[in-house]
Amino acid sequence: MKRNKVGKTFIILGLGLLLTSCATVEKNSKQVTNTEKTEQKKAPAKSKNESSTKASSEDEIEEIIETENGTFSVSLPDGWVEIDPTELNDDADVGLEHEDKMMYVAVLSESKEDYDGFEGFKEVTEFPVEVEEETEKPIDLNGWKGTRRLMTAKMDGLRFYYVYDLVESDAGHYAQRMAWTMNSKKKKYGKELENMLDSIKDVTN
**Is the pLDDT at 7 greater than 90, yes or no?**
no
Under CATH, which number does the domain 6-39+50-202 receive?
3.40.1000.10
Q: Nearest Cα to 177, choosing from 121, 114, 95?
A: 95
Residue 75's nearest CA partner among 190, 195, 166, 203 is 195
List Cβ neighbours of 144 (8 Å cut-off, separation of 6 or more).
165, 167, 168, 169, 170, 175, 177, 200, 202
* Cα 144 from Cα 163, distance rounded (Å): 15
Question: CA-CA-CA-CA torsion for 110, 119, 150, 127, nearest 10 degrees?
Answer: -70
How much is the pLDDT for 171? 96
If one compares 200 and 15, the residue with the highest pLDDT of the two is 200
Instruction: Give pLDDT tens digits for 101-156.
Output: 999 999 999 999 999 999 999 999 887 778 999 999 999 999 999 999 999 999 88
Give me the residue spans of the domains in the chain: 6-39+50-202
pLDDT score of 32 more than 50: no
CB atoms within 10 A of CB 93: 23
Lowest model confidence (mean pLDDT) among 10-24, 43-57, 71-85: 10-24
How far apart (Å, rounded) are the C-alpha atoms in residues 59 and 62? 10
Looking at residue 52, its pLDDT comes to: 57
pLDDT score at 130: 85
Q: How confident is the model over 27-37, as a mean pLDDT?
A: 28
**Could you read off the pLDDT of 38-67 as tens digits, one per residue?**
222 233 333 345 555 554 445 788 999 999
Return the pLDDT at 129: 79
